[in-house]
Amino acid sequence: MRGILISPAQIPLLILCEDPNPLLFDQTLAAWGACSPQALEGLSKEQISQGQIAGSLETQQPIQGLLVLSRREAGQIQADYPPALNPAAIESSSPAYAAERLTVQVTLQILKVRAGRSHLFHAASLGLPAHQQQGSADQPLPALALVAPSGTGKTTATRFLGQQLSYLSDETALIDPSSLLITPYPKPLSIIEDESQPKVQYNPADLGLLPAHPQESYRLEHLVILNRVKDQQVAPSCRRLDLASALFALILQTSGVQEMPQGLGELAALINRLGGAIEVTYSEISQTLPLFKDLLTGRLDLETRQDSYRFEPSSHYQQGLDRGERFYQRAAGSQGLEIGEDYLISSKGQLNRVSLIGWDIWSALSQPLGGRALYQVMKDLYGQVPHQDFKATLEAMEKAHLIESVYGLEG
């Protein structure tokens, strides 16, 4: 069998072509050209299972993922290879569909490895080319992440801006929480050419983009939220968002927040560290290049913003609740932020704005409380509280997965 060894975002992966279609192999090799692919011949299942791969990667790390292009059943493929390789089957009877699914699966493998250890944004990332950098050449180059939901112009923006700025990725920004260094992920661009067909996968260089040089490093300087106006012509403009608005714009475009015990707090800290998130409003991406260059070079006089907040992390509960009594507790993995008069709770990847009483209920549940004890806490805070209103608030919060009720099983 033939294979392709790649190391996107410094994570070694093996693409195994069980399907003998030479066109599929050649197109895959070409599409992933920006990730320095290595073509391998004569691979066997035994070699792959035992890690005996003929070829080497700069990282010298063991394979962390296996993606198999095959017409066999997924269950058969997963039974053939060790679970440690995270084998993923990609149905290959349609080369165009297989190419699209491969790009998705590679990204999922990367997110699986980096979740909980990095800030992960569904975003394009672009940097200032080295020849435009002023100052010390040994410093990381400035970069920005362009955040936007799928289908709102992010890939179009990348195709245009990436011909003038260094291309790091068009959909996944991987950021080290400490250094803010961005790990380049120069994946193929997924372009819609026919609404009824899979997206076509293009090597970035074939579209005229400028992939970052392997010896260059990039540091995140700005989190940019794209606001494309379609129904009228507007001149490009930018503004800082308040912290609560920035979180609502970013939370659905992040991965791994729930996997990090203080993920919501770390996201808020990142936004403040960057001086606040920036919303860029525009109609035509071709008009925005001067603005983005000014952002990257520091020539844009944009006031920074840092909003104070109080963070409440996820709670961990102990056994030993009274048998049979109903207790309330924070929903597993939920986290909260108090920002002035805004009270935000994240749960299951969603961000919710709650009332003051809702926040006080959730805050009080740093340890499980029975209904009567929790009601007494609210009476101590607010005086007489109508029991029906209290009960309705609990039900609404439980329905929104902000809190949950449990019954004691141990005496």
Of 330, 309, 315, give the one whose Cα is nearest residue 265.
309
Helices (H), 72-189: 74-80, 95-114, 154-161
- Tally of CB atoms within 10 A around 240: 18
Token pair recorded at residue 159: 């195709």
Instruction: Tell me if 120 sits within 8 A of 174, measured CB to CB.
Output: yes
Residues 6+ apart with CB under 8 A from 281: 227, 228, 229, 234, 236, 237, 238, 239
Confidence (pLDDT) at 59 = 43
- Average pLDDT per consecutive 10 residues, the chain (411 residues; last block may be shorter): 92 93 95 93 85 54 89 93 92 95 95 88 93 70 92 88 94 93 94 93 94 89 95 94 96 80 91 97 95 94 94 74 77 94 92 95 93 94 91 94 79 40
Short-list 230, 227, 250, CA closest to 239? 227
Instruction: Convert the pLDDT of each residue in 371-382 to its tens digit.
Output: 999 999 999 999
- Model confidence pLDDT, tens digit, residues 36-77: 899 999 888 888 887 767 554 444 568 889 999 999 999 999
Rounded-to-integer distance, Cα 262 and Cα 271, Å:
14
Q: What's this model's pTM, rounded to 2 decimal places?
A: 0.89
Q: Is 348 helix (H, G, I), strand (E, B) or coil?
A: coil
pLDDT attached to residue 406 = 83
Sign of CA dihedral 75, 79, 84, 85: negative
Cβ contact 142:221 at 8 Å: yes
Q: Name every residue whose Cβ is closer than 8 Å to that of residue 77 and which is 6 or more positions away in sequence.
A: 18, 68, 70, 87, 89
Q: Are 277 and 246 in contact (CB under 8 A)?
A: yes
